Amino acid sequence: MNYISVENLSKSYGELTLFEQLSFGINKGQKIALIAKNGAGKTSILNIIAGRDNPNHGQVSSRKDLFIAYLSQNDTFEDHRTVEETIFQSDNPIVKIIADYNHALNNPGDDKAYQVAFEKMEQYNAWDFETQYSQILSKLKLDDLNQKVGQLSGGQRKRLGLAVTLINKPDLLILDEPTNHLDLDMIEWLEQYFNRENITLFMVTHDRYFLERVCNEILELDQGELYSYKGNYSFFLQKKEERLQQEEVSLVKAKRLYQKELDWMRRQPKARTTKSKSRIDDFFKIKEESQKRRNDHKVELEIVVERMGSKILEIHKASKKFGELTILNQFEYFFRKGERIGIIGKNGTGKSTFLNMIAQNTRVDSGKIIVGDTIKFGYFTQSGITVKEGQKVIDVIKEFGEYITLTKGRSISAGQLLEKFLFSRSRQHDFVEKLSGGEQKRLYLCTVLIQNPNFLILDEPTNDLDIATLNVLEDFLLDYPGCLLVVSHDRYFMDKIVDHLFVFRGHGEIEDFPGNYSDFRAYEDSKLPEKSPEKIKTIGEKTKPIAKLSYQEKKEFEAIEAEIIELGNKKSTIETLFVRQEVPDNDINALSIELHQINHQIEQLEARWLELSLKME
């Protein structure tokens, strides 16, 4: 079933043409990734399909009543709303039914509202949907539903956007860099979710493992042409190489034919027959084919690495806390020449803070970090380049000098350096704020490297970079002779360039793991116990009532769970008083009797809860 048809799409901004005459379709069940270089217009294509932008020419047709959800890189949430209000602000009728049901549960006095909400849950079979809704919020670490959106970090807002799009169960889900700001556990869960669900996807992502495991079709926008590959990322790499080889063969043939026809043209008299005129027309087509050239310039990364002495960087019993959050706890490590360390861990465990301490931007609470005299840091932060209003691309580089020193004593102008980073002469005079996210990251990388660091600190360097630039960056880092410390959620990138990992477990615990990310994942999976039989429902779990219970029994079942939890809290409070010997002598007898009564009540309620739960099996 066809969901979307894109016909002859063209988009330009002033004299800058992004793409012309693009046509393709999106069918039900497809999981399509769009691949192109930075600045080629990937996000513009997504915006046009989602209805947030208009093309200069062409049209997008969609099936009637098609429900599209779009996760863009910039959300449109209202800061004054809570997380829960944002989630339930939806046109999806099932989401509204769940919202009404949750409201009725939180207002136990209104029996009529509860009955109406419960019956709708039954009528629309919303229980499974509610289970998935709870799982999505849990996996994306959106625990505080009452928190205001305006108080969320950039990463939390991205996770909220992802939660909203998944919960709404769209027919077509459009995603722009969905793995940015997610930790590795979340990315792997998202992969499993997309593979498990019957969902149609159209996405832009640079995450090559994600492309490999999720997508069943790749669309590549290359040299203004759109190519389709019916397979995952490995299939795409294979078929693209075959296509480029075939193009090279065709170009050689076209050049030979052009030379032959050129000789014929030179020999022809001025008087032409109808047959010769047709051949002349063909000649100009052959000439055009023979002169086609691929614009396959690659980023050229070349720097002078400052000499490195024997002392690199030493961490002596360093500790750091923010309130109750412990980042480091008596951590020690001495860096050696040429070390390549990756840092992984869940969001909020202090990875970026650790990098800031290494770079001397944040002080430790105790202990010390000693930097060798010859060490020169190059720090690529998540915040990226500081965009100054009215500043042009060439001006950013000229702040470091009109001429930049390269290896072997060579030097080049700022403009020549930018050409090595794929900024053409005309593009160098564009305003920085007009660049795409990936182009800004590429420019920022240039400013970091031209300072000739011998210790590179990279915090999420792969975000927004196109795959071609990533490949060049990886090759450069493999040959980089200095030290490397990198935080990244890009598993492919980490597998390729790091030798061992600092695993941030939380609460100040840091494990030094000897291997790359795939080695670590295999090790972690080997520690998991064998899958146990399906567990019996436990008190406190949200359980779906079914038709074997009467309406009153269903209400009783839910009330029992709440009462058991309340009695359990009272029991813990009394037991704590006895343990701490804080009970006055006059109250010992009374509290002992009360504790006995609470235990008896809990036993009776648990027996009744078990009786009702067995009726639900």
Question: What pLDDT is attached to residue 272?
Answer: 56
Task: Give this prediction's pTM.
Answer: 0.70
pLDDT at 617 over 60: no
Separation of alpha carbons 169 and 399, rounded Å? 49
Q: Is the pLDDT of residue 535 over 60?
A: no
Q: Which residue has tokens 């849990």? A: 138
Q: Reply yes or no on whether the pLDDT at 545 is more than 60.
A: no
Q: What is the pLDDT of residue 103?
A: 79
Give the residue ranges of DSSP H helices in 268-373: 274-290, 351-358
pLDDT over 90 (residue 29): yes
Closest CA to 266 of 252, 283, 290: 283
Burial of 611 (0-12, 13-18, 19+ CB in 10 A): exposed
Regarding predicted confidence, which is higher, 292 or 443? Answer: 443
User: What per-residue confidence (pLDDT) applies to 574?
Assistant: 77
Range 578-606 average pLDDT? 76
One-letter-per-residue 3-state SS of 509-546: EEEEECCCHHHHHHHHHHHCCCCCCCCCCCCCCCCCCC
Q: Exposure string (b/e) for 562-573, b if CB count within 10 Å is 16 or more?
A: eebeebeeebee
Which of 3-7, 128-132, 412-416, 591-595 is the most confident on average? 3-7
Q: Quick one: pLDDT at residue 277?
A: 66
Which of the pair, 203 or 471, is modelled with greater confidence?
203
| pLDDT tens sequence across 82-116 | 988 888 887 778 888 888 887 787 777 777 888 88
What is the pLDDT at residue 551? 58
Residue type, 61: S
* Residue 207 predicted with pLDDT over 80: yes
Residues ≥6 apart with Cβ < 8 Å to 110: 104
169 has pLDDT over 50: yes
pLDDT tens figures, 263-294? 766 776 655 555 566 766 677 777 666 666 55
Which range, of 294-303, 410-419, 431-440, 543-552, averages the lowest pLDDT?
543-552
Mean pLDDT over the full length of the chain:
83
